Amino acid sequence: MKNSTARKLKEVPTGYLIIGVDSHKKKHAAVIVTQDLIVQSKFRFGNSREGFEEMLERARKEMERAGCRGIMFALETGGNYWRNLAYFLGERGIPFRLINQFTLKRRREGKDLNRRKNDFRDAQMAAELLCTGEFTETKLPQGVYAELRSSYSAYRRLVKERTRIINLLKGLLDNLFPELTDVFKDPCGKTALTVLSTCPVPRIIAAMAEEQFVNSIRASHQGQRLAKGKLHALYHVAQTSVGVEAGGQSVALELSFLAEKLCLIEGQVDRVVKMLIKLVHRAEESKYLLSIRGLNYISVAGILAELGPFKSYRYARQLVKMAGSNPTESESGGKRGSHTPMSKKGRAGLRYCGWTAVIPVLRHNPDFRAWAKRLRERPAHANPLTGREIIGAAINRLLRLAFTLVKKQTFYQLPQLAQVVN
**242 and 171 both lie in a single domain:** yes
Same-domain pairing of 196 and 229:
yes
User: Is the domain of 101 the same as that of 122?
Assistant: yes
55 inside domain: yes
Whether 30 and 98 map to the same domain: the answer is yes
CA separation for the pair 98, 77 (Å, rounded): 6
Contacts of 175 (CB under 8 A, 6+ apart): 243, 244, 251
**If you count them, how many residues does the chain have?**
422
In a domain, 192, yes or no: yes
- Cα–Cα distance measured from residue 212 to residue 209, given in angstroms and rounded to the nearest whole number: 5
Answer yes or no: do 187 and 268 share one domain: yes
State which H helix or E strand residue 98 sits in. strand 96-99
Residue 233 located in a structural domain: yes
| Phi, psi of 377, rounded to the nearest 5 degrees | -105, 5
Task: Tell me if 96 is assigned to some domain.
Answer: yes
Cβ pair 352, 325 in contact under 8 A: no
Query: Torsions phi, psi of 327, nearest 5?
Result: -65, 140
Q: How far apart are CA 88 and CA 128, in angstroms?
A: 22
Q: What confidence score (pLDDT) does residue 241 get?
A: 86
Distance from the Cα of residue 112 to its chain's centroid: 34
Tell me which of 96, 124, 140 is where a domain ends: 140
Same domain for 231 and 293, yes or no, is: no
Pair 90, 209 in one domain:
no
Neighbours of 244 (CB within 10 A): 13
Residues with Cβ within 8 Å of residue 113, at least 6 apart in sequence: none
For 105, 156, 197, 228, the CA distances from 191, given in Å and listed in that order, are 54, 26, 10, 9
Q: Are residues 189 and 290 in the same domain?
A: no
What pLDDT tens digit does each residue of the chain (422 aa) get? 456 778 888 888 999 999 999 999 999 999 999 998 899 999 999 999 999 999 999 999 999 999 999 999 999 998 889 999 999 999 999 999 999 888 898 888 888 777 778 899 999 999 999 999 989 877 888 999 999 999 999 999 999 999 999 999 999 998 898 988 889 988 888 888 888 888 888 888 888 888 898 888 888 887 778 888 889 999 898 898 888 888 888 998 999 999 999 999 999 999 999 999 999 999 999 999 999 999 999 999 999 999 999 999 989 999 999 999 988 877 777 677 667 788 888 889 999 999 999 999 999 999 999 999 999 999 988 888 888 999 999 999 999 999 999 999 999 988 765 554 44
> Which DSSP letter does residue 136 get?
B
List all residues 6 or more positions away from 43 whose beta carbon is below 8 Å from its beta carbon: 30, 55, 58
Residue 93 has phi, psi (to 5 degrees) of 75, 25
pLDDT at 419: 53
Domain closes at, from 112, 140, 168? 140
How many other C-beta atoms can be found within 10 angstroms of the C-beta atom of residue 123? 29
Residue 32 lies in a domain: yes
CA of residue 188 relative to chain centroid, distance: 26
Distance CA(383)–CA(339), nearest Å, equals 9
Give the span between the Cα atoms of 371 and 358, in whole angstroms: 13
The pLDDT score that the predictor gives to residue 114 is 75
pLDDT given at position 3: 63
Q: Do 170 and 191 have their domain in common? A: yes
413 contacts 421 by C-beta, under 8 angstroms? yes
Structural domain including 18 reads 4-140
Res 420: pLDDT: 44
Listed residue (334, 305, 323) closest to 393, CA to CA: 323
Is 285 in contact with 310 (CB distance < 8 Å)? yes
Q: Is 301 a member of any domain?
A: yes
Residue 333 lies in a domain: no
251 with 360, same domain?
no
Helix (H) or strand (E) holding 249: helix 248-282
Spatial distance between the Cα atoms of 377 and 371, rounded to a whole number of angstroms: 10
Determine the pLDDT at residue 113.
72
Residues 116, 10 contacting (CB under 8 angstroms): no
Cα–Cα distances (Å) from 202 to 59, 180, 187, 215, 233, in that order, read: 71, 9, 15, 16, 12
Same domain, 205 and 268: yes
**For the chain, first and last CA: distance in Å?**
36
The whole-number pLDDT of residue 417 equals: 53
End residue of a domain, out of 140, 169, 192: 140
- Give the SS3 label for residue 25: coil
If asked whether residues 250 and 371 sit together in one domain, one would say no
Q: Is 71 helix (H, G, I), strand (E, B) or coil?
A: strand
* Domain harbouring 262, CATH code: 1.10.287
**Amino acid letter at 83?**
R
Neighbours of 322 (CB within 10 A): 20
The confidence score (pLDDT) of residue 116 equals 78
| Count of domains forming the chain | 3
The verdict on residue 399 lying in a domain is: yes
- Strands 16-22 and 70-76, sheet pairing: parallel
**Domain harbouring 61, CATH code:** 3.30.420.40
CA angle, residues 395, 140, 320, in degrees to nearest 5? 15
DSSP letters, 141-178, are --HHHHHHHHHHHHHHHHHHHHHHHHHHHHHHHHHH-T
**326 in Cβ contact with 317 (< 8 Å):** yes
